[in-house]
């Protein structure tokens, strides 16, 4: 799995803060290189080397990762904090990010040269999401993720 785009401490206006009823914080801004970044992403996808692509937007990386876990596929992720908190790493809604999977990692990494990106993990056949940070690790099964998603959907409708 490759995360395209940098993560900044931008939780203001995020789903995470909304659920906590927090109305402060830095709001996401559009990266200056967004046009070049999007052209590069489109070009990489058109090569046929990308298996899946998921935007990182509402709910941040945590939401995007959880949406990619299925009853037959999972992921093992390692996040480098780069001075960010675990909350910022998982729930920041920094604009201009995309999460992709590919069997041709080295080739895709070369194609992404010039725009911010990082290999953050791999897909697995286990229906679970494993996230490791410098401080801790967490494993969520597909059933736990699906249950949380259903509960959150109910809360958001209220």
Distant-in-sequence, close-in-space partners of 158: CB < 8 Å, separation ≥ 6: none
Q: What does the DSSP 8-state code read for residue 26?
A: P
Task: Return the closest-CA partner of residue 9 out of 100, 125, 124, 91.
Answer: 91
**Measured at the alpha carbon of residue 51, what is the angle toward residues 152 and 110, in degrees to the nearest 5?**
115
d(CA 5, CA 99): 9
DSSP string, 84-125: --HHHHHH---SSEEEEE-S-HHHHHHHTTTS-EEE-EEEES
pLDDT of residue 153: 76
The number of domains in the chain is 1
Question: Could you tell me the residue range of the domain that residue 109 belongs to?
Answer: 2-157
- Asked if 121 contacts 23 with a C-beta cutoff of 8 angstroms, the reply is no
pLDDT in tens, 90-109: 999 999 999 999 999 999 99
Buried b (16+ CB within 10 A) or exposed e, 52-61: ebbebbebbb
d(CA 59, CA 19): 10
What is the CATH classification number for the domain harbouring 14?
A: 3.90.650.10
pLDDT in tens, 6-46: 999 999 999 999 989 999 999 999 999 999 999 999 999 99
Instruction: Indicate the pTM of the whole model.
Output: 0.93
Which stretch of DSSP H or E encloses residue 129? Answer: strand 128-132
Average pLDDT over residues 116-127: 98
């Amino acid at each position: 799995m490759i995360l395209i785009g940098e993560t900044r401490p931008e939780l203001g206006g995020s789903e995470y803060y909304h659920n906590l009823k927090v109305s402060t914080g830095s709001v996401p801004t559009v990266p200056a290189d967004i046009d070049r970044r999007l052209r590069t992403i489109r070009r990489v996808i058109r090569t046929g080397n990308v298996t899946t692509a998921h935007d990182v937007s509402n709910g941040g990386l945590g939401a995007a990762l959880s949406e990619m876990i299925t009853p037959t596929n999972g992921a093992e992720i390692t996040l480098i904090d780069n001075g960010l908190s675990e909350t910022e790493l998982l729930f920041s809604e920094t604009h201009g990010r995309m999460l992709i999977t590919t069997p041709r990692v080295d080739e895709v990494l070369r194609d992404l040269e010039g725009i911010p990106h990082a290999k953050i993990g791999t897909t697995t056949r286990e229906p679970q999401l494993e996230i490791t940070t410098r401080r801790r690790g967490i494993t969520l099964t597909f059933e736990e993720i699906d249950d949380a998603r259903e509960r959150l959907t109910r809360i958001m409708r209220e």
